[in-house]
Copies of this chain bind each other. A is one copy, B any other.
């Protein structure tokens, strides 16, 4: 039995009862002969309450102090979890990100892990302890200041520790049973996926699936750490995410389509009437990049021969919309476009699956399913293993259900698991 890293999110440790339930699950893993390292998030609403306090004393909380504040949340949950484990008769020690050797850069509020030196964790394990580590936090290499890793940071902490400790698996415990073929709140017949490749999981995460964040999956893929996403409530097996199917290649068990993701958190900006000559797009997207805005899809229409003008559209998080418009308005003189159109009533539907590479019919089937459902397509973007379309936001749920059914992903369908080579 080897080393297991388990990560529990805030909803799993929302109150004393939750902490005791999680403690029992951790002790079970220890009893099964594993060395156990646990990464824990702040309890339930703690982080929101701390942010609220910060806003009461200062309208623009400062980076360094904001991180110092937020890291109090995991300090509470990890200490309580260690106490609860000791109360079950097992030894446990809690460690801050700094104590656990999570070394980051100095970008407060969204630091990146640059090294993990888990010497104290290794010692605690060798002495028979269960090690509890604060998720989401680290210490900056140069200034030794406390940093936080930003959204989804605890998952990243777990994967990074799993890599540094050469763990067998990184178990991400959450409040859902795993990764589904679509959001079960939208598609009642969505199926839990038993295994998905890191590659497909990355595309799902980038396309709106909330279960695992892109950054965490990317880290796991790079260091070849298998992730097991599962529920801390049900105890059922969840979804395995890894570079290679653990059942072995000989089964060639590879679904053409892993799942359907959707995202209604984005807006679309169209720059209308851009002169169709080299360098114009570069000016536009340099302005966006300089404003530190992450964009998603970019589409440029063919220019009308009569005018020599073209339209460039892109999608971005709604929260960044105003900033982007401001940044573009300032470039108007340099580019000479006609106008800007901003639309936040859009939604994105993405079909993800490595099987697409060798199944040219997938794209056609996707568009057919949308057409049959009466959904109009506004933008299209593709990668080797993903097709995404932008539609009206009101059409998104219906579109997701239609596509899910069309690709035989519904759970009561005989075609629920589609193997490679069917030529679809």
Contacts and interface: CB of A to CB of B under 8 A. Distances in A.
B76 A57 contact: no
A56 interface: yes
Contacts of A68: 75, 78-79, 82, 94
Copies of chain A in the complex: 2
Interface stretch (A2-10, A58-66, A219-227): A58-66
Interface of A: 16, 19-20, 23, 50, 53-54, 56-62, 64-66, 68-69, 71-73, 75-76, 78-84, 86-87, 92-94, 99, 120, 144
Given A50-B76, A65-B82, 16 more contacts: A19-B57, A57-B87, A58-B86, A58-B87, A62-B86, A65-B86, A65-B92, A65-B94, A66-B79, A68-B94, A69-B75, A71-B75, A72-B73, A72-B76, A72-B79, A99-B144
Name the prevailing secondary structure of the A interface residues. Answer: helix
13 contacts: A20-B57, A57-B81, A57-B87, A58-B84, A62-B83, A64-B93, A65-B79, A65-B92, A65-B94, A66-B79, A68-B79, A68-B82, A75-B75
A44 to B, nearest CB: 12
Given A20-B57, A86-B62, A72 B69 contact: no
Given A94-B65, A94-B68, A57 B75 contact: no
Given A16-B56, A76-B53, A83 B61 contact: yes
A20 B19 CA distance: 34
Nearest to A80: B57
A328 to B, nearest CB: 31
A76 B82 CA distance: 21
A183 to B, nearest CB: 34
Nearest to A86: B62
Contacts of A66: 79, 83
Contacts of A23: 57
Given A16-B57, A57-B20, A64-B93, A79 B83 contact: no
A86 to B, nearest CB: 5
